[in-house]
């Protein structure tokens, strides 16, 4: 019997409640939650990857708005003061991670909802209640999208297939089944037996710490490999497909995902293996014509030279630590969304499926 997915994050209580989330920096050895009673804790959780994965970041940010407005006395606050506070919160949370479009999408949705509500005759307290409901709607919609992605994408996986995945695009990155991992979980639900080769995903080991942990809890055949072993796994014919998630997808289908994804797509192309991306429609940023316009977050040197508290690089060495790379659309066999499969991947097909 497969274990139920963990609740990566959840809201506890009513409008004066709080956000509780799994501290993913402690996995796989400790399963521990952080309770976020202020917006600073939410920001810190996103920035330090306690919560990560584009959809989960967006959900956390939406709840972060609800946490942040609790500094106001709802019974003695004007709508103008609430509007100003929401703008401050959204601007602040937007500085936590620059690449994941879901963060900005969720903050924009919460801001738009607040603006509309503040034009009505309802009270500030009622606005707070309805903003919490909006955040919960974002959460529930993501859960439904993940299941739909799995239903559409599982047809790409055959019984007995081997698949390589990179980073973590499971329930820990979303609200339940995940995006890339939703294909594997749904295939399992359908009775298919698949083997997943999990890239460790340097330098923060999201594949080793998170994806392998999730897959094992679901009793899915799981083989952990170092990132630089993927080429050999493909050469030996152990994997017949590659499936990853994405953090932002441009209008033409170019997709940003965890660093190392681009190289994996090149390897798949060389070996004649399809490379698939699974992502919800809100991961698309149609304001960007191509992946050249996607901002790439560069993180601290310590992640490379002192990963997990042990020094592995000499003092004074220079580093370059981009957290993401961009895979060109021509290397992507298909993008699986909750609305259907985009293939071949180009601007016209992206718009056709997204607008369906």
Mean pLDDT, rounded, for 289-294? 98
Q: Are residues 156 and 142 in the same domain?
A: no
- 54, 248 Cβ separation under 8 angstroms: yes
Structure tokens that stand for 342 in this block:
């985009």
The pLDDT score that the predictor gives to residue 4 is 58
Contacts of 310 (CB under 8 A, 6+ apart): none
Mean pLDDT over residues 224-243, rounded?
98
Asked if the structure places residue 18 within a domain, the reply is yes
Residues 6+ away with beta carbon under 8 Å from 64: 19, 36, 39, 42, 43, 46, 89, 93
344 with 248, same domain: the answer is yes
The parent domain of residue 27 ranges over 9-147
Residue at 243 is within a domain? yes
Same structural domain, 134 and 280? no
Using the 3D structure, point to which of 147, 174, 196 is the last residue of a domain.
Answer: 147
Domain boundary among 99, 130, 147: 147
Residue with more model confidence, 59 or 174? 59
Q: Same structural domain for residues 338 and 205?
A: yes
Instruction: Say yes or no: 133 and 247 in one domain.
Output: no
Output the domain CATH number for residue 301. 3.40.50.10470
Tell me: do 201 and 113 sit in the same domain: no
What was the pLDDT predicted at 174?
A: 85
6: pLDDT confidence band, cut at 50, 70 and 90?
low
Distance CA 134, CA 86 (A): 14
23 noted as active-site residue: no
Provide the pairing of β-strand 275-278 with 334-337.
parallel
CB 43 within 8 A of CB 59: no
Residue 163 placed within a domain: yes
CA angle 351–354–356, rounded 5-degree value: 105
For the chain, the domain total comes to 2
Domain membership of residue 104 (yes or no) is yes
Tell me, yes or no, whether 174 and 133 share the same domain: no
Is residue 1 situated within a structural domain? no
**225 shares a domain with 88:** no
- Residue 243's pLDDT is 98
Confidence band of 2 (pLDDT split at 50, 70, 90)? low
Instruction: Say whether both 220 and 155 belong to one domain.
Output: yes
- pLDDT value for 7: 84
CB atoms within 10 A of CB 85: 19
Q: Tell me what pLDDT residue 1 has.
A: 42
For Cα atoms 51, 57, 100, give the angle at the middle one, nearest 5 degrees: 120
Non-local (6+) Cβ contacts of 4 within 8 A are none
The structure tokens 């790409």 sit at 156
Residue 159 has a CB neighbour count (10 Å cut-off) of: 10
Say if 3 falls within a structural domain.
no
Report the CATH number that the domain containing residue 14 is assigned in CATH: 1.20.120.420
Paired tokens of 274? 């399809």
Question: Would the pLDDT of 3 be above 80?
Answer: no
| Mean of pLDDT values over 184-212 | 97
Per annotation, catalytic residue among 142, 199, 227, 247: 247
Is 98 in contact with 297 (CB distance < 8 Å)?
yes
Is 109 in the same domain as 137? Answer: yes
Residues 236-251: what's their mean pLDDT? 97
Model pLDDT, residue 176? 84
Nearest to 338 by CA among 144, 177, 139: 144
Is 25:172 a contact under the CB 8 Å cutoff? no
pLDDT at 5: 60
- Strand order of the sheet with strand 9-12? 9-12, 18-22, 33-36
211 has a pLDDT exceeding 50: yes
Per-residue pLDDT tens over the stretch 77-125? 999 999 999 999 999 999 999 877 889 999 999 999 999 999 999 999 9
d(CA 168, CA 149): 16
Q: What is the mean pLDDT of the chain?
A: 95
Q: What distance in Å separates the CA atoms of residue 60 and residue 65, rounded to the nearest whole number?
A: 9
2, part of any domain: no
Q: How many residues does the chain have?
A: 356
Nearest-angstrom CA–CA distance, 319 and 159: 43
Q: Does the pLDDT at position 183 exceed 60?
A: yes
Strand residues in 51-144 grouped as ranges (E) = none
Q: Tokens 């490999």, residue? A: 225
Collapsing DSSP to helix, strand or coil, 168 comes out as coil
Main-chain dihedrals φ then ψ at residue 219, nearest 5 degrees: 60, 35
pLDDT for 25-83, tens place per residue? 999 999 999 999 999 999 999 999 999 888 899 999 999 999 999 999 998 999 999 99
Provide the whole-model pTM: 0.87
For residue 91 the two structure tokens come to 């601007």
Sign of the dihedral defined by the CA atoms of residues 97, 98, 101, 104, in that order: positive
Residues 193 and 320 in one domain: yes
Average pLDDT over residues 150-156: 98
Last residue of a domain, one of 147, 165, 194: 147
Average pLDDT over residues 237-257: 97
Q: Is residue 136 part of a domain?
A: yes
For residues 329 and 271, state if they share a domain.
Answer: yes
Tally of CB atoms within 10 A around 312? 10
């Amino acid at each position: 019997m497969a274990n139920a997915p963990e609740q990566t994050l959840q809201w506890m209580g009513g409008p004066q409640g709080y956000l509780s989330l799994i501290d993913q920096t402690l996995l796989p050895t400790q399963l521990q939650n952080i309770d976020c009673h202020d917006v600073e804790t939410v920001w810190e959780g996103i920035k330090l990857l306690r919560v990560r994965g584009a959809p989960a970041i967006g959900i956390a940010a939406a709840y972060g708005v609800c946490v942040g407005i609790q500094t106001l006395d709802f019974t003695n606050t004007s709508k103008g003061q609430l509007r100003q506070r929401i703008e401050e919160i959204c601007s602040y949370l937007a500085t936590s991670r620059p690449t994941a479009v879901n963060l900005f999408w969720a903050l924009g949705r919460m801001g738009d909802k607040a603006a509309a509500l503040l034009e009505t005759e309802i009270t500030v307290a009622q606005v707070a209640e309805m903003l919490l409901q909006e955040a919960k709607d974002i959460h529930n919609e993501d859960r439904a999208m993940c299941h739909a992605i799995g239903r559409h994408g599982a047809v790409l996986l055959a019984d007995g297939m081997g698949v390589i995945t990179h980073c973590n695009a499971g329930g820990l990155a979303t609200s339940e089944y995940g995006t890339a991992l939703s294909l594997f979980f749904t295939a399992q639900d359908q009775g298919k037996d698949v083997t997943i080769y999990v890239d460790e995903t340097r330098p923060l080991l999201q594949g080793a710490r998170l994806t392998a942990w999730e897959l094992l809890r679901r009793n899915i055949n799981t083989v952990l490999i170092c990132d630089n072993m993927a080429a050999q796994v493909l050469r030996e014919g152990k994997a017949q497909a590659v499936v990853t998630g994405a953090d932002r997808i441009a209008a033409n289908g170019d997709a940003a995902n965890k660093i190392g994804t681009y190289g994996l797509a090149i390897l798949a192309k060389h070996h004649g293996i399809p490379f698939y991306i699974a992502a919800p429609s809100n991961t698309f940023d149609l304001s960007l014509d191509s992946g050249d316009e996607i901002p790439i977050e560069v993180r601290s040197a310590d992640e490379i030279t002192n990963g997990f508290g042990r020094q592995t690089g000499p003092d004074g060495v220079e580093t370059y630590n981009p957290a993401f790379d961009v895979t060109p659309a021509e290397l992507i066999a298909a993008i699986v969304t909750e609305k259907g499969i985009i293939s071949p991947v180009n601007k016209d097909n992206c718009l056709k499926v997204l607008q369906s």
